[in-house]
Structure 1
Amino acid sequence: MIRKSKQLQRLAFALCFVLTSSVFAQETLSKKASTNLSEEKIPFNPEVKMGKLDNGLTYYIKNNGKPENKVELRLVVNAGSILENDEQRGLAHFMEHMNFNGTKNFEKNELVDYLQSIGVKFGAHLNAYTSFDETVYILPIPSDDPEKLEKGFQIIEDWAHNALLTDEQIESERGVVLEEYRLGQGANERMMQEYLPKMLYGSKYADRLPIGQKEVLENFDYDTLRQFYKDWYRPDLMAVIAVGDVDVATLEAKIKEHFGNIPKPNNPKPRESFELPNHKETLVSVESDKEASFSQVQVMFKDTEDAQPDTTLEDYRKSIVENVFSQMINNRLDELTNGENPPFVFGSSYYGGTYAKTKNAYQSFAMTSETGQLKALQTLLEENQRVKQHGFYEGEFERAKKDIMARMEKSFKDRDKMESNRIVGEYIRNFLENEPMPGIEWEYNFYKEQLPKIDLTEVNALISDYIKDENRVIILTGPEKEGLTNATEAEVRSILEEVGEEELAPYEDTEVASSLITDVPKAGTVTDYKTNDVLGTTTLTLSNGAKVTYKVTDFKNDEILFDAYSYGGNSLYSLEDYKATANANGGLSEAGVNGFDKTEMGKMMSGKIVNVRPRISTYSEDISGNASPKDLEDLFQLVHLYFTALNKDEKAYNSYIDKQKSFLGNMMSNPQTYFSIKMGEWMYGDNPRYMGFPTPEMMDEANYDLAYEKYKERFADAGDFHFYFVGNIDEKKLVDFASQYIASLPGKNSNEMYEVNDFRPLTGQHEKIIEKGADPKSSVRITYHGPTTYDTKEDFALETLGEILTIKLVEQLREEEGGVYGVGARGNMSNMPYDWYSFTIGFPCGPENVDKLKNAALAEVDKLVANGPTQKDLDKVKETYLLDHKEDMKDNRFWLNSLKNADYLKKDANKLMDYNKNVEGLTTEYLHEVAKKYLSGDYLVGIHNPES
């Protein structure tokens, strides 16, 4: 549901709310507009079967055919870290781990082993998470086999009440959880520990981070964990969700069979809700850390009243008003971000949930430069105050409504093509937060009915409810280093006082043109037309030499994706020109096209879903994007303009440079980032074209004028570009638009090829230790790589060996040693820009375990070389490949990438149809030969340790 869901708001700052004016006017209009709306309840989606068992367990079921032969299962427990007592801090999350380590029907490691055997991958598919108020288990399962479906329900039943929790299993999992705890340590965690008591003032939430406390995790008594499980894993606090390609009656029967007999607890502990108390004063937290990568500002205006669920049509209508407000305030913040001397790298405001289920807040957020926190704070406060003093205007109001309605229409059109794993989140929120779920068809129609009736005055009135002096929290976080003067609490309070008394000028809204393209180009023609029946594609050759390949699909109703390339890129620049322009290229498109700046383009595109991005890569120039089918012509027009009419705008470019400098300025202070960058220098630094990590000084030295001229050179010839389109395409329109806007582009048929210098990365037997950071955190990276003769079959074999080795490394380093939280291996072979193979292993761990775990990982490699993989492990990977590929074949992005990359890498696209045969053809004997060939020789070891 596209509304004010707490989780959606946290993830997508771009959908939010706010505003000014007369509260009296708002009340009058609301009463007038909502006649009877306050009495009528929001309906429940009729396509969803919701029920409750006698023991109190709630269930949600929906038949959904995308993807085919798969069902998404969720076990939702209305219990998280907020329910822990002092001796249990971290055990809600620990309990989540334990459900993967031994249940009544799946002994330790049997669960993951079984699921891998049917193609369900640990981490990528099978997963879980623990938050303050909930624990959610995630299980996608194949549904075309009754036995697999039955096992899936047995697994989630076991999670609900059949965890074994033996002493041995608990003890063996301590190391894994402590490694996850270790991963979370660092600047952000240290600063959060300081500001949470103010953000969550007076609340238990401030002292119940889900990861818990180290001393508790190290020393808790086994019975303390068992008590948490007994107290809170019970049917009245649980929901089972089943969405997928199985009929509702079958799924309901499975739920009743597996969960109906779980007994109700006698005298259950009350499941409390925990308050976020009000406070009259403004709380300020200014935190800094030597390892902080970014500077941020957050302003919270917490409600004084507790949050109430939306139940009536009037409640739902208010959420639409809030949505319009959010769209407009964020449009204004985006304009500031794109303008000259931007006050922040990114800014956003929204009204929605906080960490506490019982409290909502209006929140403004910005990412800034290290010296720009106070300016960003002032700007956020002023923009809110500007709305309060002057309100929004009709032009931006109409554009916001168009944008919101376009998104609703897209969701409505794709309602029957929504993947099951994207549906279940709404059901989880309905159970945990009472979020209404009337279904997208009802929502779309309600938006269509109510959005035109919403008056700007009632939107403007919201700001008076949002902005207040009490319950206000200001949080600043950023780096701490020599020469940098950090903001102070006194300065923050001074800005609050200053802005509160400031009379601000109204926002200036400007009229925009109705069309991006001013002179419609003279159309070219299609000179050749070929179809590929194997792939279901059509390729057009245009009169200027450009090629267009398209594939019509029904995977989504409202989606067309495109990509295009031409060989060359900045590999054709002289070394001097390359170094002068490398850091400028990203800012070229910030100027807009055809005389319209980025803000004007955004206004002109209101109500349209279309996006186009040009770029210059190392070996090609590219342009890509997406559009709704109804907006396809706008996409083609933008493509034409990015070839012919890119603006040159020093102010827009300087704005980009300022934001990049702010974003990149302190990234090297993060120990993990520092390690990656230094590893890159070590392995690739001898390349004369190696640029390394861009520093603020390098950004200042980039040559915009030269980069702009080089861009025009690279996009001067459309004749050697190949364009690819995949989606719900009207073929006649696409051919017409291609003729009008692509065939009319200059075509010189230069057919350039990229250039490759003689440099090759460091090879041989080497080890490098890099020290950075104060926390006891290390990581290990092992790399086998070198020149080869490219072979498609060997490439696939190396990839498969990486998947198999990951299974073995998880078993050994995580489950047996308890020394890592995550570990993985990856192998591949490339033929561009030169033939090369690569096989990498990586994992974080404690400094004390580096040598032991490095040697354990290498021992697993040696086993592959000596014995090859087992048939059991190969079969697990094969099953995952086949299941993933089955879904990929119904995905537009997969087809777009496959078609383009086949040509780009000079491969036969038709071989895509041989994938299943290639998977079945993999043998342990062949993989053994490939392992011996590529994993028997030298390797590079990079080790990150904390500073001595």
Structure 2
Amino acid sequence: MNYKLITQGMMLCLLAVVVAGQTSFAQQLDKKIPFDAQVRTGKLKNGLKYYIRKNAKPEKRVELRLAVNAGSMQENDNQQGLAHFVEHMAFNGTKNFKKNELVSYLQSAGVKFGAHLNAYTSFDETVYMLRLPTDKQEVMDKGFQILEDWAHNVSFDNKEIDKERGVVIEEWRLGRGAGQRMRDQYFPVLLNDSRYAKRLPIGKKKILENFKYNTLKQFYKDWYRPDLMAVVVVGDIDLDAMEKKIKQHFSRLKPVKNVREKKLYPVPPHQKTFVSINTDKEAPFSQVQIIYKKPLKKVKNLTDYRQQIINRFHSGMLNQRLRELTEKADPPFINAGFYYGSFIRSIDAYSGSVLANGDDILGGLRVALTESKRVRKHGFTKGEFERYKKTILNSYKRAYNERKKTDSKSFAREYVAHFLQKEPTPGVKFEYEFVKKVLPTITLAEVNALSKKWITKDNRVIIINAPEKKGVIVPTEAQVRTVLKEVAFNAVKPYKDKAVGTKLMDKMPTAGKVTNTKTYPKSGTTELTLSNGIVVTLKPTDFKDDQVLFNGYSLGGYSLAAAKNHVSAIYASQIIVASGVSKFKAADLRKMMAGKSVSVKPYIREVTHGVSGATTPQDLETALQMTHLYFTQPRKDETAFKSMKNQYKSMMQNLMANPNFYFQDQLTKIKNQNHPRAAGFFPTKEELEKIDLDQTMAFYKRIFSNGQNFKFVFVGNFKVDKIKPLLEKYIGSLPTTQQKATFKDLGIRPPKGKVTKKLYKGKDPKSQVHLSFMGAAKYSTKDASLIKALAEALSIKLIEKLREEKGGVYGAGAYSYMQKKPYDNYAIVVSFPCAPNNVDDLVTATMGEIKKIQKSGISSKDLKKVQAQQIRSMETNMKNNRYWLNTLRSAYVNEKDREKITEYEQSIQALNSKDMQKAAQKYFDMKNYIKVVLYPETMKK
């Protein structure tokens, strides 16, 4: 018998089967992308479309969307900014809800303005968003009535229009600054003087101030019509009931006759490369954008969908190369990235962005273009390709694993995109199965071929935005074109892909043992004490199927460092993360983690230090190994250290010329009275020079060498019995000493008395107001709850007073905190932006609202709003892994009873006006607060 002939025959048969299978699969790719079968869709007789999906995450909640396929591109010349203005007016009175009734009613149902009730307007669309509780029929009924009113029953009361002018102009004011000024210069170049360059959604101030009422109403009449609308409903709902409601409410919209045509406006092509160079004294960084505009490509069939995956390979692998370059001792740029995708409605683009290193703008451009050319000339390596294949598959696998626990707003966003831009919506199950089938058919040659398609001389735009500052060398257009020619003609060598190991640990540690177990039934937690003294709290959940979060902390932090090593201690954890662990550089770790979901990072704060992590059940052991190595084998890397210092130096060069960064930096110094041991908003050049790598390593090893004082919290999808052996092996084996955990109170305190400071920065006519009531106060859970409720109640009143009544702000709010360490203290902070000439009036109004609460407490109406919002927030928090992780960690740090975490409703219901009044009298001390206001430089005397 001829064995050789039989083997060849078998191979031929196998090859025939494979070829036949590929042919069959190739034929399948001609099919249209299916629509997700779990979504019920329909179209009313008037042309309105709808999407409905049942989804139980979060429970007892529904996401409502009204998508209008019209935006600023549909404005007439005298309507610039009015598409956005219409959106504002939708919240200022409708047929069934008078001024303020709409927002006020929803707040009483636990809906937060901004978080659960919002809208946006862009070039081509306007979308209204509303999240409602589903357990009260009245709320659901009114929610749908609100959605219907937005669609065709906005009131447009003339007085309210005039009031809202101030609010919209304040939003316009917020957008002013260096970025806006440079954008105004390069947009006409980038968009080749197309209509897009002339229709920014915020509009023109002169028009906003002076438009006629009917001009606004005409936009609503022309473009808010059912054939341009879709309603999206996703949540813990009954499909039939929701479809009935949609038909009941939205069939009332009358179809419009003689409609205005909605055009898709083109961006004219160009053969020559356009270059736009822009400078501004307030620009904090030097940035380069490289854009290759491409014809719009709609994704219609499975071949197109496959191509999208191929595109991901190219961008992902190139960006990994670029990230490696940032880790050099003298990096060519701070960061850089390239992406392919939708640019605006009428075009796609292959776009790159480079944050330049210092004043070497041309150098950053040259390196980014060179790396693109390296790919174009030599392609990617097989190793890169195989690793990224694992990364892509893992991302789809995670989405598939979480398909039953995906938040409804993600689905709502997806269906809105399908309506507006026909984005594919096949459903995660189909996507995962398709990717598993299609990945083996994608070749490296297909990925490598993309560069020649994408990187072309036509429709190319180079944009440079840089600080106007002495020492920053801004290139000329001629120099930019010279770089383009140099890169085009210079030879490039292939990329060398360094092989990495396949496992983190060559030798496994000697496991410890669980010596004590304690259960807490109310919080559903188990506390383990390990033989080395480390305490671990476990909270198994089913909130996410593919998530495990953890945090280990100890008292100490950079407070334990000697004063001379203070700066080295503050940045120690960042340096370690940049350096890697054991024998692996940071880049090596990324390569090893391809196909895994592992994020582990050490941190060092003022009085605590530790490690935080996020992973999946299947990658938990890898995450624990990395945790173990961050404790036992931090890596000293001179190159990574120099790279980080150089990047910080570069970023700091003009940062303080920007009014926003300057304000935050000065505010931080005022609050800590320029204490030499306080961590600043950003490191200064002098501080960076003080960082010493040997001191950094010595301090890091010292505070992480004693595991006994650490307490870990694990929350997510795991079983206590199954996780125990892993904890014994990797946490129970950490080295410990008998030294007790402690921290030092560095004496960092806010100033006492009434402190007022005026800051002057920037040329735009805008101010930023910051009021801080803060100081020492004995920590108590009750008072922490009271000042939280006070801040929320005050936020409601500030929106009513400063925005709705005075039209003086776009947004205003308050927040609070109370903590035990480093000393018992609290803060209630109020902040808002506004026009400089309105500062005094708005601050007076703010103080007036605070004094009203001190004098009379808060009204029963506002108290119910605060309680409803807190209860509704806690209902979702109780099903959130991140919330549980942070709350359990806080219970350790602030010595709170974890068993009371679930008793939130009782404590919220116990809130009363009298207690809040007393708290306001105690914590809003009118003789002890900080007021800092930023003004433009033109107002400086």
TM range (shorter): over 0.9
Q: How does 1:830-841 map to 2 (within 5 A)?
A: 830-841=819-830
Aligned partner of 2:101 in structure 1 is 110
Cα deviation for residue 353 of structure 1 reads: 1.1
Task: Pick one of 382, 391, 395 that aligns with 1:403.
Answer: 391
Aligned letter for 1:947?
E
The CA distance in 2 between the partners of 1:831 and 1:655, in whole Å, is 37
What displacement does 1:912 show? 0.8
Residue 14 of structure 2 corresponds to none
Q: Which amino acid aligns with 1:905?
A: N
Q: Which residue pairs with 2:8 in the alignment?
A: none
CA contact (8 A) 1:370 1:479 kept: no
CA distance in 2, matches of 1:315, 1:676: 47
Structure 1's 96 and 30: CA in aligned 2 closer, same or farther, altered over 3 A? farther
Deviations for 1:280-303, whole angstroms, at most 9, x for unmatched residues? 100001111000112211101111
Seq. identity, %: 45
Aligned with 1:529 (options 500, 507, 517): 517
Aligned to 2:125: 134
* Counterpart in the other structure of 1:777: 766
Name the structure 2 match of 1:710.
Answer: 699
Residue 602, structure 1, aligned to residue 602, structure 2: no
Identify the match of residue 330 of structure 2 among 330, 341, 353.
341
Kindly provide the amino acid, as one letter, of the partner of residue 834 in structure 1: Y
Q: Give the TM-score of the pair, scaled to structure 2.
A: 0.96
Aligned to 2:443: 455
- Corresponding letter in the other structure for 1:892: N
Q: Assess if the C-alpha contact under 8 Å between 2:596 and 2:619 holds in 1.
A: yes
Out of 242, 246, 254, the residue aligned to residue 233 of structure 2 is: 242
- Tell me the distance in 1 between the aligned counterparts of 2:29 and 2:616: 36
Secondary structure of the residue that 1:648 maps to in structure 2? coil
TM superposition shift of 1:686 = 4.4
Q: Is the 8 A contact 1:587 1:657 kept in 2?
A: no
Does the CA-based 8 Å contact 2:570-2:605 persist in structure 1?
A: no
Q: Does the residue aligned with 2:814 lie in a helix, a strand or coil?
A: strand
**What is the aligned partner in structure 1 of residue 896 from structure 2?**
907
C-alpha distance in 2, partners of 1:828/1:626?
26
Match of 1:357 in 2: 345
Matched with 1:940 is 930
Q: Deviations over 1:878-921 (max 9, x none)?
A: 00001110000000001111111101111111121221100000
In structure 1, what is the Cα distance between the partners aligned to 2:498 and 2:89? 59
| Counterpart for residue 10 of structure 1 | none
Per the alignment, residue 812 of structure 2 pairs with 823
Q: Which residue number in structure 1 is paired with residue 865 of structure 2?
A: 876
Task: State the one-letter code of the partner of 2:561.
Answer: Y
Alignment of 1:203-214 (within 5 A): 203-214=194-205
Amino acid at match of 2:849: E
Aligned partner letter, 1:813: L
Separation (CA, whole Å) in 2 of partners of 1:801 and 1:549: 32
Cα displacement string for residues 572-598 of structure 1 (whole angstroms, at most 9, x for unaligned residues): 122122144434542122111111101
SS in structure 1 at match of 2:26: coil
Q: Deviations over 1:212-268 (max 9, x none)?
A: 011111111111101100000000000100000111111111110000121110100
State the Cα distance separating 1:94 from its structure 2 match.
Answer: 0.6
The farther-off stretch of 733-742 and 623-632 is 733-742
Give, in angstroms, the shift of residue 759 of structure 1.
Answer: 4.2
Instruction: Return 707-716 or 35-44, whichever deviates more.
Output: 35-44
Mean Cα displacement is larger for which, 238-247 or 318-327?
318-327
CA shift, 1:338, in A, is 2.2
Q: Distance in 2 between matches of 1:223 and 1:641?
A: 68
Which stretch shows the higher mean deviation, 830-839 or 432-441? 830-839
Shift of 1:560: 0.3
Contact 1:674 1:772 in 2 (8 A): yes
Give the structure 2 partner of residue 119 of structure 1: 110
CA distance in 2, matches of 1:842, 1:879: 24
Q: Equivalences for 1:296-311 in 2 at 5 Å? A: 296-303=287-294, 305=295, 307-311=296-300
- Which whole-Å CA distance do the structure 2 matches of 1:30 and 1:99 have between them? 55
In 2, Cα distance between equivalents of 1:733 and 1:696: 49
Question: Which residue of structure 2 aligns with residue 419 of structure 1?
Answer: 407
- Distance in 2 (CA, whole Å) between partners of 1:501 and 1:916 is 70
Q: Rate the CA distance shift 1:477–1:491 in 2: closer, same or farther, 3 A.
A: same
TM-superposed deviation, 1:484:
2.2
| Aligned-partner Cα distance in 1 for 2:826–2:569 | 30
Q: Report Cα offsets for 1:312-333 as digits up to 9, x if no partner.
A: 1111111111112222111111
User: One-letter code of the match for 2:159?
Assistant: E
Q: Give, in angstroms, the shift of residue 180 of structure 1.
A: 0.5
Aligned to 1:345, what secondary structure does the other structure show?
Answer: strand
| Partner secondary structure for residue 338 of structure 1 | coil
Distance 1:503 1:489 in 2: 23
Q: Which amino acid aligns with 2:899?
A: N
Query: For residues 449-473 of structure 1, what are the alpha-carbon distances to aligned partners after superposition, in whole Å with 9 as ceiling and x for unaligned?
Result: 0101111111111111101000000
Q: Which residue of 1 aligns with 2:719?
A: 730
> For 2:208 and 2:178, how far apart are their aligned partners in 1?
21
Match of 1:230 in 2: 221
Distance change >3 Å, CA 580–CA 520, structure 1 → 2: closer
1:690 matched residue in structure 2: 678
**Are 2:360 and 2:473, in contact at CA under 8 Å, matched by a contact in 1?**
no
Moved more, 361-370 or 131-140: 361-370
Residues in 2 aligned to 1:80 and 1:775: alpha-carbon distance in whole angstroms: 27
Contact 2:315 2:339 in 1 (8 A): yes
Provide the rounded CA distance (Å) in 2 between the counterparts of 1:768 and 1:687: 17
Larger mean Cα displacement after TM superposition, 739-748 or 635-644? 739-748
Code of the residue aligned with 1:53 in structure 2: it is: L
1:160-195 per-position Cα deviation (integer Å, ceiling 9, x unaligned): 000111211111100000000011000000000000
Query: Which one is further off, 30-39 or 605-614?
Result: 30-39
Q: Closer, same or farther in 2 for the Cα pair 1:134/1:714, shift >3 Å?
A: same
Partner SS state of residue 768, structure 1: strand
CA distance in 1, matches of 2:101, 2:279: 46
- Name the stretch that deviates more: 139-148 or 554-563: 139-148
| 8 Å contact kept, 2:670–2:750 | no
Aligned counterpart, 2:532: 544
RMSD of aligned C-alpha atoms? 1.6
**Which residue number in structure 2 is paired with residue 638 of structure 1?**
626
Residue 803 (1) aligns with residue 792 (2): yes
4+ residue runs of structure 1 moved beyond 4 angstroms?
28-34
State the match for 1:789 in structure 2: 778
Contact conserved, 2:284 with 2:655, CA < 8 A, in 1?
yes
Q: CA deviation at 1:34?
A: 6.0
Q: Does the Cα contact within 8 Å between 1:583 and 1:694 map onto a contact in 2?
A: no
The aligned residue for residue 268 of structure 2 is 277
- Superposition pairs of residues 739-758 of structure 1, within 5 angstroms: 739-758=728-747
8 Å Cα contact 2:669/2:675 also seen in 1 = no
**What amino acid maps onto 1:144 in structure 2?**
D
**Which residue pairs with 2:661 in the alignment?**
673
Residues of 1 paired with 2:75 and 2:358: CA distance?
38
Which residue does 2:169 correspond to in 1?
A: 178
User: Which residue does the alignment assign to 2:15?
Assistant: none
Q: Which deviates more from structure 2 when the two are superposed, residues 917-926 or residues 519-528? A: 519-528
For 2:642, the equivalent position in structure 1 comes to 654
Is the aligned partner of 1:164 residue 2:155? yes
Structure 1 Cα separation of the partners of residues 216 and 438 of structure 2: 50
* Structure 2 equivalent of residue 7 of structure 1: none
Q: Unmatched 5+ residue regions in structure 1? A: 1-27
Q: Secondary structure at the match of 1:708?
A: helix
Q: What is the rounded CA distance, in whole Å, between the counterparts of 2:420 and 2:686 in structure 1? A: 49
For residue 339 of structure 1, give the secondary structure of its aligned residue in structure 2: coil
1:509 aligned to which of 478, 493, 497: 497
Provide the C-alpha distance between the structure 1 equivalents of 2:787 and 2:599, rounded to a whole number of angstroms. 36
The answer to whether structure 1 residue 437 and structure 2 residue 425 are counterparts is: yes
Give the deviation of 1:680 after TM superposition.
1.9
Residue of structure 2 equivalent to 1:23:
none
> 1: CA distance between counterparts of 2:885 and 2:595?
25
Consecutive unaligned residues of structure 2, counting only runs of 5 or more, are: 1-18
Question: Structure 1 residue 691: deviation in Å?
Answer: 4.7
